[in-house]
Amino acid sequence: MKEGAQLTQAETGNRYEVFHTDCPARNVVDHVTSRWGIWVLISLRSNDLRFHELRDSIQGISEKMLVQTLRALVQDGLIWREVEPTTPPQVTYGLSEFGQDVSEPLTDLFNRITQRLAPRSPG
């Protein structure tokens, strides 16, 4: 394969042409790597959370942006949404199996960054 050449489906088997604008994986990557998508996925790694718990765990996110981010991640199959028929409705979010797989390297990346930025003790 030529250097810098775009991968074609024939060359890669079942893989997508990730640099092509019509690639379905691009939307998922855009949602995962959006400003808030990463934080939602990392927040849900350890526990399922209700909407207000999720909002409170991610400082700086507006309700509008959280709703938009959650909607996109649910549509992508990365997270699930469960509504309890109470008044007012209680909505809980959690990671799907796909979301667990995708969020694992994000959590590793976050841990590496925070470890690197941690103040070092004089030795």
Confidence of residue 122 (pLDDT cuts 50, 70, 90): low
pLDDT of residue 14: 59
Nearest in space to 56 (alpha carbons), one of 111, 31, 74, 47? 47
Nearest in space to 75 (alpha carbons), one of 57, 98, 53? 98
70-79 confidence digits (pLDDT tens): 999 999 999 9
Q: Using the 8-state DSSP alphabet, how is residue 108 labeled? A: H
pLDDT of residue 95: 97
50-94 confidence digits (pLDDT tens): 999 999 999 999 999 999 999 999 999 999 999 999 998 999 999
